[in-house]
């Protein structure tokens, strides 16, 4: 019979639990010292081992030959718990049995002493789903529980548990499992199943499962079926619809070079081959973030995973990258209210102006710059050297969107044609004709 990895590799001992060192330590110590409260509340994200650990605890409390707080897994009670037919272990899923009758049934059962002489353990999964009445009924039991009875409430939504219940439970926090622990867990499965693997592939599965061990195991399961037994990076990427970083980089370069048609085609292809577009867009955003950080700080290694990737982007100005980031981010927001592909396509089109618009937008947004560097190239280059020399010496003033050059009457008349042309060509340049500057009074003496 085929058993999914997630179930087959469920931990059966405290020592086999992955990534929950604190929870394991507290529970194991409680078993060893025989100081068991009436109720535990296991809180934390889904699929990180709450119910598995609850069962291990039930076993440890009922095991006939426990060793150092661990269940033996071979006595009659351990085997019976493993098989799911131990009379003193009651598991209830509050998502489907959330009413008061279910809790009443538990309350009645609680009154019988444990049949096998150990602990009666009640595991209530998804405890936050219980109705208010059910909570109140449960509360009565928790107030005066019979001896050797343990309630284990598991929940992913701690804040939905009413305070009166909280105050009667000892809370055990579970955390998301980190990628390297997940990877080790997957490695164990691979080696005992005789599956070949690539390190990077297991890491990818670990990242994609976002701290959820159960998801990681079932992903591995599915990929191994898909690849017929060899877990390669490429297969995982294909399976998850993750695009490789190299591909994302290629797309980003298309955008930066305003190759809109190619970029649109690229996007279409991804979409048609069933890739997860929002995920791709997220990858794009995170690559761009890395590139921007590389450009902005001295030691990017501290913040960026792969600095070498960024080197391909060194020739693009930060402003262009920031503008692109803005467009990509807006595309992401728009994808929430309209078809994804269409939102992204529009974003791609908006990047068309990356190349041309940056210098002008810079000019318009940065007045200081307008009067200095950028102006030199974009304005003075249009004039004859004499006219540009005259203009460089003129006073200037920013009025609204325009830079107004204050030019003496005589000079203006000399270069009138050039200045008028410049005004037509560069809309943010204007002139003001002024009387001769200075207090020399009589410039005629110069002649
Ligand atoms: Zn045992």
**How deeply is 77 buried, as exposed, middle or buried, from its count of CB atoms within 10 A (0-12, 13-18, 19+)?**
buried
User: How many angstroms separate the alpha carbon of residue 210 from the centre of ligand 1?
Assistant: 34
Distance 77 CA to ligand 1 centre (A): 6
Secondary structure of 300-329 in HEC code, one letter for each residue? HHHCCCCHHHHHHHCCCCHHHHHHHHHHHH
CA of 150 to the centre of ligand 1 (A): 18
Say if residues 94 and 129 touch (Cβ distance below 8 Å).
yes
Dihedrals phi, psi of 196, to nearest 5 degrees: -80, 150
Highest average pLDDT, of 114-118, 242-246, 432-436, 438-442, comes from 432-436
Token representation of residue 233 = 């990076």
Per-residue pLDDT, 302: 82
**Average pLDDT for residues 48-70, to the nearest whole number?**
95
Calculate ∠ Cα 75-189-78, nearest 5°: 10
Is pLDDT at 323 greater than 70 in this prediction? yes
- Residue 308, CA distances (Å) to 228, 291, 295, 297 in order: 34, 10, 12, 15
Distance from Cα 68 to the centre of ligand 1, integer Å: 12
- 111 CA → ligand 1 middle, Å: 25
What percent of the chain has pLDDT above 70? 91
Q: Which helix (H) or strand (E) holds 196?
A: strand 196-197
SS3 176: coil
Q: How far is the CA of 94 from the centre of ligand 1 (A)?
A: 28
* Alpha helices in 195-276, H assignment, sequence order: 199-208, 213-227, 233-240, 245-256, 260-272
Q: Give the pLDDT of residue 143.
A: 82
Bridge partners of 395, per DSSP, are: 406
**How many CB atoms within 10 Å of residue 325?**
16
Give distance in angstroms: CA of 54 to centre of ligand 1.
Answer: 15
| Residue 440 confidence (pLDDT) | 46
- The CATH topology of domain 179-240 is Helicase, Ruva Protein; domain 3 (1.10.8)
Q: Residue 410 and residue 156: Cα distance in Å, rounded?
A: 81
How much distance in Å is there from the Cα of 14 to the middle of ligand 1? 13
pLDDT exceeds cutoff 70 at 139:
yes
Q: Report the C-alpha gap between 396 and 27 in whole angstroms.
A: 76
- pLDDT for residue 112 is more than 90: no
Tell me, in angstroms, the distance from the centre of ligand 1 to residue 80's CA: 9
Q: Which residue has the higher pLDDT, 134 or 43?
A: 43
| pLDDT band at 39; cut points 50, 70, 90 | very high
pLDDT the model gives residue 199 = 92
Determine the distance separating the centroid of ligand 1 and the alpha carbon of 320, expressed in angstroms. 66
Number of other residues whose CB lies within 10 A of the CB of residue 441: 8
CA of 154 to the centre of ligand 1 (A): 24
pLDDT at 97 over 80: no
Cα of 15 vs centre of ligand 1, distance in Å, is 15
More confident residue, 358 or 81: 81
User: 211, 213, 278: which is closest to 242 by C-alpha?
Assistant: 278
Q: Please check the confidence at residue 428 and state whether its pLDDT lies above 50.
A: yes
Each residue's pLDDT tens digit, 158-210: 999 988 889 999 999 999 999 899 999 999 999 999 999 999 999 989 988 88
Residues with C-beta atoms within 5 A of ion ligand 1:
63, 71-72, 75, 78
**Cα 361 to ligand 1 centre (Å):** 74
Return the minimum-mean-pLDDT range out of 50-59, 109-118, 141-150, 183-192: 109-118
pLDDT exceeds cutoff 50 at 427: yes
Answer whether residue 217 shows pLDDT above 70.
yes
CA of 86 to the centre of ligand 1 (A): 12
What's the gap in Å between 84 CA and the centre of ligand 1? 14
Q: Are strands 149-155 and 170-173 parallel, antiparallel or unpaired?
A: unpaired
Quote the pLDDT of residue 374: 56
Residue 297: pLDDT over 50: yes
What is the pLDDT at residue 437?
60
Mean of the per-residue pLDDT values for the chain? 84
Tell me, in angstroms, the distance from the centre of ligand 1 to residue 85's CA.
15
Instruction: In whole angstroms, give the CA distance from residue 424 to residue 428.
Output: 9
Q: What CATH topology corresponds to 245-357?
A: Zinc Finger, Delta Prime; domain 3 (1.20.272)
Q: Considering only CA atoms, which of 42, 55, 119, 63 is closest in space to residue 82?
A: 55
Rounded to an integer, what distance in angstroms lies between the CA atom of residue 288 and that of residue 336? 21
How remote is the CA of residue 215 from the centroid of ligand 1, in Å? Answer: 29
The string of DSSP letters for 57-106 reads HHHHHH-SS-BTTB--S-SHHHHHHHHT--TTEEEEETTT--SHHHHHHH
Provide the whole-model pTM.
0.62
The burial class, CB within 10 Å (0-12 / 13-18 / 19+), for 144 is exposed
Any residues with CB less than 8 A from the CB of 202 and at least 6 apart, and which?
Answer: 183, 186, 187, 190, 220, 231
Per-residue pLDDT at 28: 95
Cα 61 to middle of ligand 1, angstroms: 9
In degrees, to the nearest 5, what angle opens at C-alpha 277 toward C-alphas 275 and 279?
100
Asked if CATH classification 3.40.470.10 holds for the domain at 5-173, the reply, yes or no, is no
Question: What is the CA(30)–ligand 1 centre distance, in A?
Answer: 17
Reported confidence tier of residue 377, pLDDT bands at 50, 70, 90: low
């Amino acid at each position: 019979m085929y058993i999914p990895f997630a179930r087959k590799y469920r931990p059966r001992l405290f020592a086999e639990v992955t990534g929950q060192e604190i929870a394991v330590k507290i529970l194991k110590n409680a078993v060893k010292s025989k100081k068991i409260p009436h109720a535990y509340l296991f809180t934390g994200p889904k699929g990180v081992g709450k119910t598995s650990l609850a069962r291990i605890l039930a076993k440890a409390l009922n095991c006939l030959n426990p060793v150092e707080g661990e269940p033996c897994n071979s006595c009659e009670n351990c085997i019976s718990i493993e098989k799911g037919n131990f009379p003193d272990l009651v598991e209830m899923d509050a998502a489907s049995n959330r009413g008061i009758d279910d809790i009443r049934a538990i309350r009645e059962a609680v009154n019988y002493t444990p049949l096998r002489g150990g602990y009666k353990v009640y595991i209530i999964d998804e405890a936050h789903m219980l109705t208010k009445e059910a909570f109140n009924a449960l509360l009565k039991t928790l107030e005066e529980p019979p001896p050797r009875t343990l309630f284990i409430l598991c929940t992913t939504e701690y804040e939905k548990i009413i305070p009166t219940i909280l105050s009667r439970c000892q809370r055990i926090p579970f955390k998301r499992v980190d990628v390297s622990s997940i990877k080790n867990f997957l490695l164990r499965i691979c080696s005992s199943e005789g599956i070949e693997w690539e390190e990077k592939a297991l890491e990818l599965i670990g990242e994609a499962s976002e701290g959820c061990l159960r998801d990681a195991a079932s992903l591995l399961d599915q990929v191994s079926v898909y690849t017929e037994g060899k877990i390669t990076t490429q297969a995982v990427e294909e399976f998850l619809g993750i695009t490789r970083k190299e591909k994302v980089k290629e797309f980003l370069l298309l955008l930066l070079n305003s190759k809109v048609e190619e970029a649109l085609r690229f996007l279409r292809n991804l979409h048609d081959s069933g890739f997860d577009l929002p995920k791709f867009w997220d990858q794009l955003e995170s690559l761009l973030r890395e590139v921007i950080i590389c450009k902005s700080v001295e030691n990017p290694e501290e913040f960026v995973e792969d600095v070498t990737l960024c080197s391909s982007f060194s020739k693009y100005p930060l402003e262009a990258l920031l503008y692109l980031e803005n467009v990509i981010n807006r595309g992401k927001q728009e994808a929430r209210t309209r078809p994804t592909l269409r939102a992204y396509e529009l974003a791609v089109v908006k990047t068309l102006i990356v190349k041309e618009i940056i210098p002008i937008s810079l000019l318009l947004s940065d007045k200081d710059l307008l009067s200095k560097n950028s102006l030199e190239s974009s304005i003075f280059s249009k004039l004859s050297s004499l006219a540009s020399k005259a203009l460089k010496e003129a006073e200037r003033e920013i009025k609204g969107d325009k830079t107004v050059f204050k030019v003496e009457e005589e000079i203006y008349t000399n270069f009138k044609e050039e200045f008028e042309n410049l005004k037509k060509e560069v809309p943010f340049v204007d002139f003001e004709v002024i009387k001769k500057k200075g207090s020399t009074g009589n410039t005629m003496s110069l002649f």
